[in-house]
Structure 1
Amino acid sequence: MMRFLPRVRCLFPYVLFISAVIFLIYTGPVIIRYLEGLIPMDKCPLHPGQTLRKGDPIDASLNLWSRRDVQTCTNWGAPVMWEGMFDPEVYDLEHRKRGSSVALTVFAVGKYLDAYLSEFLRSAERHFMPGLPVTYYVFTDMPERVGEVELGVGRTLEVVQVQRLQRWQDVSMMRMRAIADAIDSRIRHRHPYVFCLDVDQVFAGRFGSEALGESVALLHAFYYHRPRAFYTYDRNPASAARMEGRGDFYYHAAVFGGSWQSVWNLTEACYRGVVEDKRNGVEALWQDESHLNKYFWLHKPSKVLSPEYCWARHVGYRGDIRVTRLLWAEKHYDTLR
């Protein structure tokens, strides 16, 4: 027995190394996301008494210093919306006085319609823009499959038929053209505000009038604590989405909005970028999201939503996420795409 001990001792470092590799494979992403959460965010560059340079006049009611743990305004003076900064009743009252209404666009194409649309709409009825008139514009290639949803007073649903495309990347990119067309033909005559959301999400809490603004972008849940050097901007010189600078934030294309004019400007610009890329035989790294990030770098949003407004559970615990307003639904990319 004793003669085998040296061999066991020689094998021990290899066993330890293999065990460490297996441990990192299964827990590495979790550990990395936890460590990212410890990286402090930048702080609002304004001082008490200073006012925002961007945003709606009602945003003057925000308490930018109620959240010392997160960045509550940008360096161009736009608010970053977090729980604890605002009184929802103040926003709701003001927007009811203005007669504000909202168009919500969502694409439910192919298998995504059956997998996600029904729960998306039911949860939106509970949590999206409570007390305001809303029209859901459902873009789908199978209008006959859109089931009935019980809608509240002042809430309506319209189905917009779109062409079925083979690649999900093409669906993602071509939605910009469809949204711009819908704004031109329908939305601008009916609603001052537009929000554009992905369908594979579920509302879990208030997503209300405090989110409205001239031009609204969303901090990506996976990137808001990361250093800018790790943002996955498109860097391909041949792409119209190429980012040459460090950028400001990494924005998530699952949620964006604003006035109908601002959203039309954004979607039209992103579509032109997609067309230019196709002409040059390239595709942006993250399709329309890459073009959206380029647009918001050049045209700063007037309001930024925190990741509360589109949270992914598998990011893990984050002390700065006090509420979740919209959650990623469980993804089934292997079957849906």
Structure 2
Amino acid sequence: MESLEMFCQKRGCLYGFIVLLIFTLSFTWYSIEVPPWHPTFLSSCKMEIPNKASLLHDLKEVKLQRMLYEKPNAVKPPRTDVLMMTPWFAPIVWNSTYDINILNAQFHQRGVRIGLTVFAIKKYVVFIKTFIETAEKFFMVGHKVNYYIFTDRVEEVRQHNFTLSEGRQLVILGVPAYKRWQEVSMRRMEMIHNQTYERFANEIDYLVCVDVDMRFSDDVGVEILSDLFGTFHPSYYGAPRTHYTYERRPESAACIPEDEGDFYYAGGFFGGNVVEVFKLTHFCHNAMLSDTAKNIEARWHDESYLNNYFVYHKPTKILSPEYLWDNNFAVPEILKRRRFVAVPKNHNEIRN
């Protein structure tokens, strides 16, 4: 009995000592002056953690000035003769479906810079003069533009000495000349992918990728810009799915089964913000490498891989045939404007 009482006394002393120790430490902790914590501490760490709150402080308000324009009608669409919206809510850009003045005001406030890529390789260099001169008249007028010219004939392109509008510049990128035009076509995805990683991501906000054997004949502006956009092929915009010239071989990475696909997109006009273009070209290039290892060449080269990508990564905007047309075709009633048209040429002579 005595030993039990002594144990309790000792235990009580132990508890008292612990309580005293905690009180002393607490008093000491609160009496220490600790400098206030600041998020910049993270910048000294090797693994930098993004501070979303600080990013919000840098947001710019896009507020339009007072503008006069026709009131939109909520129950009457501007056009009823064409599809204006996809099932996944991506707008399809046709004439009369937008107000370019409102769009220009928005994009000017954001201060975006647009990149435009073309490939002037081998004999295709003959198209570069018409391309740049018409782009200066009709492409993104009033906005900041970088023309990126991929060519194996750097000096020949430099000799043109183009006069560009303020805020626009021409960048010549030397590339190899491949033997076959098909290989040149397929390598475009690889080159755009590499330059997006090395250069474009630091210089521009949106990237537009088009063919060089074309000319601008009407306005092409910021109405086309979106996270990821494609363009209806002028030969298939009204055709049934079974008529599309997709790659159908199951062993190809570009394969689209008979019962899949929304539209047939042209390889000569696509783009988006630099992140989405990087992802698109990364997929297409890797898919081509996969097929090359199996001795497969997709039916329409880079266009086949582009169409495969758009089936499973839906574009956020689609451009109507106004933005890619061939004047050899009969002009349908729905085509109000022809903004970007093919230059007449002998394909065999140019490609060989």
Q: Is the 8 A contact 1:129 1:209 kept in 2?
A: yes
Match of 1:301 among 315, 321, 340: 315
| Alignment pair present for 1:144 and 2:155 | yes
Q: Is the 8 A contact 1:138 1:157 kept in 2?
A: yes
Match of 2:346 in 1: 332
Match of 1:199 in 2: 212
Q: Give the secondary structure class of the aligned counterpart of 1:68.
A: coil
- Deviation string 1:249-270 (CA, Å, 9 cap, x unpaired) is 0000100010000011111100
Aligned residues: 277
Please tell me the residue identity of whatever aligns with 2:144: P
Q: Give the secondary structure class of the aligned counterpart of 2:288.
A: helix
- Which segment drifts farther, 238-247 or 86-95? 238-247
Separation in 1, partners of 2:290, 2:238: 32
Separation in 2, partners of 1:334, 1:295: 29
Match of 2:138 among 127, 140, 153: 127
| Deviation, structure 1 residue 232 | 0.6
Matches for 1:236-251 after TM superposition, within 5 Å: 236-244=249-257, 245-251=259-265
| Deviation, structure 1 residue 186 | 1.1
Match of 2:195 in 1: 182
| Alignment pair present for 1:262 and 2:276 | yes
Q: Is the 8 A contact 1:82 1:305 kept in 2?
A: yes
Q: Give the secondary structure class of the aligned counterpart of 2:230.
A: strand
Distance verdict in 2 for CA 1:297–1:235, change over 3 Å:
same
Separation in 2, partners of 1:227, 1:62: 32
| Alignment pair present for 1:88 and 2:88 | no
Please tell me the residue identity of whatever aligns with 2:118: V
Q: Give the secondary structure class of the aligned counterpart of 1:263.
A: helix
Q: Is the 8 A contact 1:62 1:86 kept in 2?
A: no
Separation in 2, partners of 1:130, 1:92: 10
Match of 1:310 in 2: 324
Match of 1:273 in 2: 287
Separation in 1, partners of 2:262, 2:297: 23
Match of 1:173 among 166, 186, 190: 186
Distance verdict in 2 for CA 1:307–1:106, change over 3 Å:
same
| Deviation, structure 1 residue 199 | 0.2
Q: Percent identity?
A: 38
Match of 2:299 in 1: 285
Separation in 2, partners of 1:141, 1:216: 28
| Deviation, structure 1 residue 331 | 2.6
Q: Which runs of 5+ in 2 are unaligned?
A: 1-63, 65-71
Please tell me the residue identity of whatever aligns with 1:177: E
- Deviation string 1:216-257 (CA, Å, 9 cap, x unpaired) is 100011101111110111001121100024200000010001
Q: Which runs of 5+ in 1 are unaligned?
A: 1-57
Q: Give the secondary structure class of the aligned counterpart of 1:186.
A: helix
Match of 1:103 among 111, 115, 123: 115
Separation in 2, partners of 1:182, 1:93: 30
Separation in 2, partners of 1:144, 1:122: 18
Match of 1:18 in 2: none
Please tell me the residue identity of whatever aligns with 1:144: E
Q: Is the 8 A contact 1:120 1:203 kept in 2?
A: yes
Q: Give the secondary structure class of the aligned counterpart of 2:276.
A: helix
Match of 1:15 in 2: none
Match of 1:233 among 246, 250, 253: 246
Matches for 1:45-124 after TM superposition, within 5 Å: 65-114=77-126, 116-124=127-135
Please tell me the residue identity of whatever aligns with 1:123: T
| Deviation, structure 1 residue 62 | 10
Q: Give the secondary structure class of the aligned counterpart of 1:216.
A: strand
Q: Give the secondary structure class of the aligned counterpart of 2:328.
A: helix
* TM-score (normalizing by structure 1): 0.80
| Alignment pair present for 1:215 and 2:218 | no
Please tell me the residue identity of whatever aligns with 2:212: V
Distance verdict in 2 for CA 1:246–1:176, change over 3 Å:
same
Distance verdict in 2 for CA 1:209–1:295, change over 3 Å:
same
Separation in 2, partners of 1:65, 1:252: 27
| Deviation, structure 1 residue 313 | 1.0
Match of 1:40 in 2: none
Separation in 2, partners of 1:152, 1:232: 40
Q: Is the 8 A contact 1:65 1:72 kept in 2?
A: no
- Deviation string 1:38-57 (CA, Å, 9 cap, x unpaired) is xxxxxxxxxxxxxxxxxxxx
- Deviation string 1:171-193 (CA, Å, 9 cap, x unpaired) is 00001010011111111111110
Match of 2:40 in 1: none
Please tell me the residue identity of whatever aligns with 1:318: P
Distance verdict in 2 for CA 1:109–1:62, change over 3 Å:
farther
